[in-house]
């Protein structure tokens, strides 16, 4: 009897896949759909880009400063300093804060590698902190035990679009006089609510926040881009200098810097897209809401936990799979035309680059545990209900079938 149900399911499955794909006009499912997003704002974008071309002000054109002002207003932060990409933004922050080789920086290993790479690049020492298995963000309760006299900064990452536990992190930082650099590459548009009810935009709570405008990020441009946010005016001056060859005025170099600029075409694109950021966040949240409902009570799927303090903007929708082979599920989804990604297959502390630093033994059980179980599903601003229904039905069915084997 079991067998016949299974067989019926399989026949039924291939039939529905075919019917659904037909209905969707054979539209290919993607992790992100930047083409459809562009089509909707094409006229505004094209006009904005044409203006830059007409004025040939490719570097430091007026759009760069205007975008910085508009983003500062949006985030309610004093200073926004644009730069070339998100990785640079982290580097500029650490250089401007005067961090020196030997300084220890507490950060999660469970992040995109750039966070850690920049620490190593500057000769600083990464000290890996465990993450909270529910939020995927740094586990604030484990930070204090890692603090030594050499600790200078904490770099929380607002992973997948959810704000880290900033209230606890800021309290620890204040107690031990540490800098806080928020890696906000995945959570722009989101905000955090403190226990007294105060709301602050992600990236504006620490000494400095950094972000990326990589095309697939929540506020993405059409190339590379990044920015820094701060309410500290002295730090803003230093970060501007670092991003501009260490100079305040032309040809007068006061400190070691680098060359990191947001180009005018990207700023023009971002000025248009900033107007849609709230609606993009809402679109992502309704995708998440759909998945949450579809997978509720499925014992094999843990849906993302949403902290009540965080307005989650779902850069990724990342589930944890239990009692079923995650890689087999991913393979089967791919066969059915559903792309998924594992963010991140190898945590930073297991990367050869970090092992070459001989930091000593790093035990991060939760990080390793998550790495083996997470799977990120397609989520973007252009998803429709048909696609969501298809993806969730297929995933549930695949898990059922694998468990019956």
What residues line the site for ligand PLP (CB under 6 A)? 85-87, 111-112, 114-115, 157, 183, 185-186, 212, 214, 224, 226
Of 167 and 183, nearer to ligand PLP (C-beta) is 183
Q: β-strand 301-302 against 104-108: which pairing, if any?
A: unpaired
Smallest separation, CB 213 to ligand PLP (Å): 7
3-state secondary structure of 293: helix
Nearest-angstrom CA–CA distance, 315 and 402 = 29
Q: Are 52 and 63 in contact (CB under 8 A)?
A: yes
307: tokens are 């902290």
Of 115 and 394, nearer to ligand PLP (C-beta) is 115
Q: Are 101 and 124 in contact (CB under 8 A)?
A: yes
3-state secondary structure of 274: helix
Nearest-angstrom CA–CA distance, 107 and 347 = 12
Smallest separation, CB 269 to ligand PLP (Å): 15
Smallest separation, CB 302 to ligand PLP (Å): 22
Of 93 and 143, nearer to ligand PLP (C-beta) is 93
Per DSSP, what are the bridge partners of residue 310?
192
Residue nearest to ligand PLP (CB): 86
Of 156 and 257, nearer to ligand PLP (C-beta) is 156
Of 90 and 173, nearer to ligand PLP (C-beta) is 90
Smallest separation, CB 18 to ligand PLP (Å): 36
Smallest separation, CB 401 to ligand PLP (Å): 33
Backbone angles phi, psi at 157, to 5 degrees: -115, 125
Smallest separation, CB 54 to ligand PLP (Å): 28
Of 182 and 382, nearer to ligand PLP (C-beta) is 182
For 62, 93, 109, 355, the CA distances from 134, given in Å and listed in that order, are: 43, 28, 16, 27
Tell which residue, 161, 180, 168, has the closest CA to residue 305: 161
Q: What is the DSSP letter of 217?
A: S
Tell me which residue has tokens 């014992």.
299
Tell me which residue has tokens 């904005």.
48
Smallest separation, CB 224 to ligand PLP (Å): 6
Tell me which residue has tokens 């602050």.
200
Of 20 and 111, nearer to ligand PLP (C-beta) is 111
């Amino acid at each position: 009897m079991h067998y016949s149900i299974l067989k019926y399911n399989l026949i039924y499955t291939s039939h529905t896949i075919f019917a659904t794909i037909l209905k969707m006009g054979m539209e290919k499912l993607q992790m992100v759909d930047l083409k459809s997003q562009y089509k909707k704002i094409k006229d505004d974008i094209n006009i904005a880009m044409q203006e830059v071309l007409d004025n040939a002000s490719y570097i430091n054109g007026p759009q760069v400063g205007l975008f910085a002002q508009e983003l500062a207003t949006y985030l309610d932060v004093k200073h926004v300093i644009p730069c070339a990409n998100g990785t640079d933004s982290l580097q500029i922050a650490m250089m401007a804060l005067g961090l020196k080789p030997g300084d220890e920086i507490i950060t999660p290993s469970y992040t995109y590698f750039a966070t850690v790479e920049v620490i190593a690049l500057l000769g600083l020492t990464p000290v890996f902190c465990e993450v909270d298995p529910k939020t995927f963000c740094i586990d604030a309760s484990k930070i204090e035990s890692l603090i030594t006299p050499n600790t200078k900064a904490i770099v929380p990452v607002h992973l997948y679009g959810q704000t880290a536990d900033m209230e606890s992190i800021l309290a620890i930082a204040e107690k031990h006089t540490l800098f806080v650099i928020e890696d906000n590459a995945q959570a722009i548009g989101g905000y955090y609510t403190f226990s007294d009810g105060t709301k602050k935009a992600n990236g504006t709570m620490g000494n400095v926040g950094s972000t990326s405008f990589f095309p697939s990020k929540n506020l993405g441009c059409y190339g590379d881009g990044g920015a820094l946010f701060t309410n500290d005016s002295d730090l803003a001056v230093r970060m501007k200098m670092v991003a501009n060859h260490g100079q305040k005025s032309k040809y007068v170099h006061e400190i070691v810097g680098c060359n990191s600029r947001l180009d005018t075409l990207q700023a023009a694109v971002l000025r248009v897209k900033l107007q849609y950021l709230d609606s993009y966040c809402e679109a992502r949240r309704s995708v998440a809401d759909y998945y949450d409902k579809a997978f509720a009570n499925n014992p094999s799927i843990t849906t993302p936990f949403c902290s009540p303090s965080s307005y989650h903007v779902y850069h990724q929708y990342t589930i944890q799979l239990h009692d079923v082979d995650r890689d087999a599920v991913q393979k089967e989804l791919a066969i059915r035309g559903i792309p998924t990604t594992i963010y991140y297959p190898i945590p930073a502390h297991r990367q050869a680059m970090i092992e070459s630093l001989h930091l000593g033994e790093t035990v991060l059980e939760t990080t390793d545990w998550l790495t083996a179980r997470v799977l990120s599903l397609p989520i973007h601003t252009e998803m429709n209900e048909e696609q969501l229904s298809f993806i969730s039905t297929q995933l549930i069915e695949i898990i059922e079938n694998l468990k019956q084997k």
